[in-house]
Chains A and B, each alone.
Chain A
């Protein structure tokens, strides 16, 4: 496996552990549709959360969350709706979150931006 993909994998792994620690229940990972992919789908208090994970090794090119562009958000939206249509379970609410992970001065920071689009 390429090192870049490995780094992405590591980011998603870290994000999962972080969410579990925060009391989320992981439902699916890497859910794919014709429109795109959702990194993590999790549940909490009867709601469903679609999580996009962004990891970067440096802040030289801006924060990772800045890379979740409008186009990316639309892809995630469409995929999420497909998931909801095919899902047998009914949810009270759904949200879209971004978890950004970056390494700054040798320190790994996890930043969970809730309900952001």
Chain B
């Protein structure tokens, strides 16, 4: 007796269809799974056996061979329990189903036959829809993700028994209702830019960064407010588009970081890994590559506090994703690409003691010149070159701290950022980019118009500061964002000057 069912596994951040073939033959009782299963899949033997028995079905005392095709793809995760169990029930005639070709099963079985939630359901549903399946059975615990995709019928059986009764036509399950995606964000977070007195330059820089998706480096002595500023950046980021939100949700689904109650990730991610992070944890790794912090901060912010404390290798691996917006991890098992379009926000002190360049008359830098040099050299030129906005965050004086003047709130800044983003989306609607920072050389040439004064200034800066070709492009991108915030259709000399100032503050 032979039966075929369909399941899914995840590969990178996408689902991958798996054909589960079950052969039930006479012979010594046994249960073999072939087709490159990993340990979690091999162990499904015991779970499937117990679940079938405890759901009131008969587990056949014959030889069962399960083949997972395509045979060259490594299958991981416990989501194949359900298609295997369904295959055995079909093969032994305990369940009858006429449209098995149109169905995908995904779920982990408990020993009592109930179905447990698994990681990566959203990409599986999306894949199932892509390959033209009509129905998918997912665990009840993954309901929030099941509601996100339109165009495929999603069922959430609580147990193997319910699933079997549905297939046999004894008791039909009700499919999940579809809601229109609600992208409205509740910005009720505790922090707000209204809490920050002074630091007008830094705030302006972060506003530009949020509006155009540019990378930021903040340099300042301890306690100046670098971390405080960075933590408030998410409150002024524009809401994600539906496409962006689904992308982020897919990544979080695969990493198992999705909350159980809410499907779509609405807020842009804000990740702040500790500086002891390894380069593998940062860009992703593992024998079958898993997403790292750069991918988890896709479409959001990656905040690296105390930048020079990060290991050299961790910083250098950032160079490629910063430029390309994705990262490709190659291992023997698989070579996978993960999206990694993020705003890098970093903070550092000017020297090990933190007071280099401070002229308040109290603090004095106690570092030796070679120490300062070594500290600053930890961040390589190529990495700095990729950071569009580099600003000094000076210490506040007493008057500024005690100031009670009303300060702009995040909501006000956000309206401006949103308006600027909308201009960008409109301009870039023929490309698949979302903001100015994503633009390549070609797009800059096509979309960015500089007036004559701007051209003259740019040439002067280019020669005078010895800028690289990449810096040239990046200055135009920042200038374009400043122009967008100004609602100006062309880039003027003012915009170019501000962009250059924001960039070269640190490099002198």
Which residues of A are in contact with B by a Cβ distance under 8 Å? 62-63, 65-66, 68, 98, 113, 116-117
A-B contact pairs, 19 of them (CB 8 A): A62-B29, A62-B61, A63-B29, A63-B61, A65-B28, A65-B29, A65-B61, A66-B28, A66-B29, A66-B61, A68-B28, A98-B28, A113-B26, A113-B27, A113-B28, A116-B27, A116-B28, A116-B63, A117-B28
Min CB–CB distance B57 → chain A (angstroms): 16
Contacts of A62 in B (CB 8 A): 29, 61
Q: CA separation between A65 and B29, bound complex, in Å? A: 7
Residues of B within 8 A of A98 (CB): 28
A68 and B27 CA atoms in complex are apart in Å by 11
Q: How far is the CB of A116 from chain B (nearest CB, A)?
A: 5
Residues 52-87 of B contacting A (Cβ, < 8 Å): 61, 63
Complex: A62 Cα to B28 Cα, angstroms: 12
Residue among B26, B27, B28 with the most chain A CB within 10 A?
B28
B293, chain A: closest CB distance, angstroms: 46
Give the docked Cα–Cα distance between A26 and B397 (Å).
105
A111 vs B28: C-alpha distance in the bound complex, in angstroms?
11
Interface centre among B26, B27, B29 (most CB of A within 10 A): B29
Min distance, Cβ A65 to any Cβ of chain B, angstroms: 5
Contact with A along B6-29 (1 / 0, CB 8 A): 000000000000000000001111
Interface of B is mostly: loop
Closest chain B residue to A73, Cβ basis: B28
Q: Given the complex of chains A and B, what is the CA–CA distance between A63 and B63 in angstroms? A: 12
Residues of B contacting A117 in the complex (Cβ-Cβ under 8 angstroms): 28
A34 to chain B, nearest CB (A): 25
Chain A residue nearest to B30 (CB atoms) is A66
A83 to chain B, nearest CB (A): 21
A66 partner residues in chain B, CB cutoff 8 A: 28-29, 61
Q: How far is the CA of A117 from the CA of B27 in the complex (A)?
A: 8
A residues near B61, Cβ cutoff 8 Å: 62-63, 65-66
Residues in B whose Cβ lies below 8 Å from that of A63: 29, 61
**Assembly CA distance A66 to B49 (angstroms):** 14
Q: What are the residues of chain A within 8 A of B27 when measuring CB–CB?
A: 113, 116
Q: Closest CB-CB distance, B62 to chain A, in whole Å?
A: 9
In the A-B complex, the 4 residue pairs with the smallest Cβ-Cβ separation, listed nearest first, are A66-B29, A63-B61, A116-B27, A116-B28
Chain A, Cβ-Cβ closest to B28 = A116
Could you say which residues of chain A place their CB within 8 Å of the CB of B26?
Answer: 113
Complex CA–CA separation, A62 to B61 (angstroms): 8
Contacts of A68 in B (CB 8 A): 28
Cα–Cα, bound, A66→B29 (Å): 5
- Distance of B430 from chain A, by nearest CB (Å): 64
Of all chain B residues, which has the CB nearest A98? B28
**Which residues of chain B are near A65, meaning CB under 8 Å?**
28-29, 61
Chain A residue at minimum C-beta to C-beta distance from B63: A116
Q: How far is the CA of A48 from the CA of B26 in the complex (A)?
A: 21
Which residues of chain A have C-beta atoms less than 8 A from B28's C-beta?
65-66, 68, 98, 113, 116-117
Write out the residue numbers on chain B whose beta carbons fall within 8 Å of the beta carbon of A113.
Answer: 26-28
Q: How many whole Å from A98's CB to the nearest CB in chain B?
A: 6
Tell me, in angstroms, the Cα distance from A16 to B333 when the chains sit together. Answer: 53
Kindly list 5 other residue pairs between chains A and B, CB separation below 8 angstroms, not including A62-B61, A65-B29, A66-B29.
A63-B29, A65-B61, A66-B28, A116-B27, A116-B28
B63 cross-chain contacts in A, Cβ below 8 A: 116
Complex CA distance for A66 and B64, rounded to whole angstroms: 13
Question: A116 to chain B: which residues have CB within 8 Å?
Answer: 27-28, 63
The CA of A65 and the CA of B26, in the complex, are separated in Å by: 11
CB A104 to nearest CB in B, in angstroms, measures 12
A68, B30: Cα distance in complex, Å: 10
Instruction: Tell me, rounded to whole Å, the shortest Cβ–Cβ distance linking A73 to chain B.
Output: 8
Q: Tell me the residues in window 394-418 of chain B with beta carbons closer than 8 Å to chain A beta carbons.
A: none
The distance in angstroms between the C-alpha atoms of A117 and B29, with both chains bound, is 11
- Nearest CB of chain B from residue A111's CB, rounded to whole Å: 9
CA distance A115 to B61 in the complex (A): 17
**In the complex, how many angstroms separate the beta carbon of B461 from the nearest chain A beta carbon?**
77
The answer for the CA separation of A66 and B27 in the assembled complex, in Å, is 10
Q: How many Å lie between the Cα of A65 and that of B28 in the bound state?
A: 6
CB distance from B194 to the nearest CB of A (A): 71
Tell me the complex Cα distance, A65–B60, Å: 12
Q: Chain A's nearest CB lies how many Å from the CB of B298?
A: 48
Q: Which chain B residue shows the least CB distance to A52? A: B28
Could you tell me the distance between the alpha carbons of A116 and B29 in the complex, rounded to whole angstroms?
10
Q: Which residue of B lies closest to A115 (CB)?
A: B27
In the assembled complex, the Cα of A62 lies from the Cα of B53 at a distance in Å of: 12
Which single residue of chain A is at the shortest CB-CB distance from B26? Answer: A113
A113 and B63 alpha carbons, distance in the complex (Å): 11
A62's nearest neighbour on chain B, judged by CB, is B61
Smallest Cβ-Cβ distance to A117: which chain B residue:
B28
Q: Which of B27-61 contact A (CB under 8 A)?
A: 27-29, 61
Nearest Cβ in chain B — how far from A11, in angstroms? 17
**Alpha-carbon distance between A117 and B28 when the two chains are bound, in angstroms:** 8
State the Cβ distance, A113 to closest chain B Cβ, in Å: 6
CA distance A66 to B28 in the complex (A): 6
